[in-house]
Amino acid sequence: MKSFNINSLIDPEILTQGKEIRLKKDQVLTQQFARANEFYLLKSGTVTFSLSLDDSRGEIEVGQTNEKGAPIGWSGFNPPGRYATTVKVASNTATFIKWSHDQLRELFNSDPEAGTVFLKEVCANARNLIKGAITKLSEVGPSLPITESLKPEEYTLTQQSPDENLVKFLRKSSFFEVFEEAPLEFISQALERRIYGANDTIYEQGGDPDGLYILGTGKVRFSYFDDKEESISFRQINTPGFVVGWGGVIGLPNMINAHAVRESVVYYVSKESLSRILKLNPKFAPVFFRRLLWLISHQLQAIRARIIASQFNHEITAISNLIDQNSAKLELWSPLHKIPHLLEDKLTVGDALNTLEHLKSKGSALEKNIANTAWELLEEIRKEHTFYNGLVNVYNSVVKAPGDLPPEEIRKINALEYQKLFESQGYLIKGEENLPVEPGNIFIYNHLRNHPYNTLPNQFQITLDSHFISAMILMRKYGDPGLRIVRIGLSKEYAHQEYYQRLGHIDVFTEESGKKNSKQKKQVRQMFFNEAGAHLTRGGNLIISPEGNSYSTEETPGPFKPGAFKLAMSMKKEPWIVPIAVANFDRRVRNNRFACIILPPFKASDYIRNAEDKAEMKAFLKDYQSKYRDYVADAIKASKNPNGGWN
């Protein structure tokens, strides 16, 4: 096979030992999970890479290449030697050069230097598969948002600085931990400590290859400029010891960009220093490049897992597949096997996250890598878990408040706790300039039903939209969360009753309150007018949903009832009515953005002459419901705009 020389440095003897084979379209070259007995280099044609899913979805394509010299079956260079993907011919025909892994091992043992050159070239060509996977990811999923869990003032480099013994530090790295002590001593002596500030560039796409980068402390974001020069962020790493740059090792320009998300320490080994170390340790050199292939393999797995998560919008599917891919290498008792099951229930998500966090630092090399990838994939689930725990705190802020605390104080405590809930959530509030300067107004909104996922263990659901208006708008503007109109709970809804009784809101009957006789309804209605009117007279704000029932974002607003408008017109000093359109509060937190638009206030008397004229009131309500639908449509549109002033 001398005519097929992908690099003139590769020993001709190794190429000569290869055998050329030809396959037709749709023929399978390698089958995922099968023993990797053969290694291939693509000579001509196009192949696809697919992963099998553990459910009815079958297989998913995660990559494609027609690059001459693309390596296939390189997982056989590292134990347990199983093919990572199913590779199928996509062109009419494709030709490959084939070696058995046993054959290559013998050649490498007899000539380590030639083996090192061959493995280095395989690493260089495997790198192109990462580029292809990133391109594929950009087609199926959005750019990864930049996230930072620590506030700047909470973070200092000394908090998480690695051990001063750099050999010990390297030994904790999943990449370096398999190497013997002697080469680690050489590498530790060549380490250069670099400090990067938040948003500093560590290296740039297309830049000259210059060495090896190892994360000490902090967080690094990877991004890639596509053909349209658009930046695609695809991964973030905060694990000490993680190799965050290795292009210089194979002498090729940087394929991606790396930036510090926060102040970070990165250890750097120049390509010249690393080259000297490999030359001084000829037996270590092929071991190093086999390990580099291992690293490339896991980086590919991480990107491909994100492809699955993006395509199916289901992180658990991606993590299950990731674990399945590594099942032959994982110990049977590895805690990773239970992660997908723990993630299925919101009450055990915390157990899954705690297990992953432990394995990120304390697991085996394989467990560390899988745990890190899973942790990244679970960004939205982690955010949702924090939110769910926050809902529990919101509930407890009310029911566990001191018994002698008046309702108005409990409402303020409740609002402040709810504000904490949204500190790390994506939300949009527009139109705050429309808020009246003084309190004493009626705030109306379209009421959205709660997503079942947010139901607390005692079956209570905290209404997200009305609490949001109280805490995030009224409390911040007026220093008081206002008084809400809440439905009377069913007799079995003890948690609902306990919660709202402590808050002292105004009770009304709705369709969800169950059947009551007309006399009871009339009494409650009159109490509503009396209490609400008195609160407005004292200069308090009221929050009312004219619908009287909850709906989905797509269905809302439902038919309006006249109560809020009649109340306004019954007041001696007519209050402003402030419309607020909300969207997405009926959805889970993951991959969601809550939106809230405050519209200009108006006086009901500007549109209704006689509040007791049923025909006039009915006509107004129908017309205003139609207008409100447009308000909600604007809120939905704003929620989809990533540049819409999100908090």
- Reading phi first (left if > 0) and then psi (alpha if -120 to 50, else beta), residue 127 is in alpha
pLDDT at 379: 87
pLDDT at 409: 95
User: Of 127, 116, 124, 126, which is closest to residue 11 (Cα–Cα)?
Assistant: 116
For residues 492 and 176, give the distance between their C-alpha atoms in angstroms, rounded to a whole number: 59
Q: What is the pLDDT of residues 452-482, one digit of tens each?
A: 999 999 888 899 999 999 999 999 999 999 9
- CB burial string 150-168: b at 16+ within 10 A, e below: eeeeebeeeeeebeeebbe
For residues 598 and 577, give the distance between their C-alpha atoms in angstroms, rounded to a whole number: 11
Residues of the chain short of pLDDT 70, as ranges, are 1-11, 54-57, 141-164, 313, 488-493, 509-522, 524, 642-647
pLDDT at 511: 52
For residues 509 and 489, give the distance between their C-alpha atoms in angstroms, rounded to a whole number: 9
Q: What is the pLDDT of residues 561-571, one digit of tens each?
A: 999 999 999 99
pTM, 2 dp: 0.76
Q: How far is CA 566 from CA 205, 526, 613, 614, in A?
A: 64, 12, 11, 11
For residues 403 and 368, give the distance between their C-alpha atoms in angstroms, rounded to a whole number: 48
pLDDT at 513: 47
- Reading phi first (left if > 0) and then psi (alpha if -120 to 50, else beta), residue 120 is in alpha
Sequence letter at residue 386: T
pLDDT at 515: 52
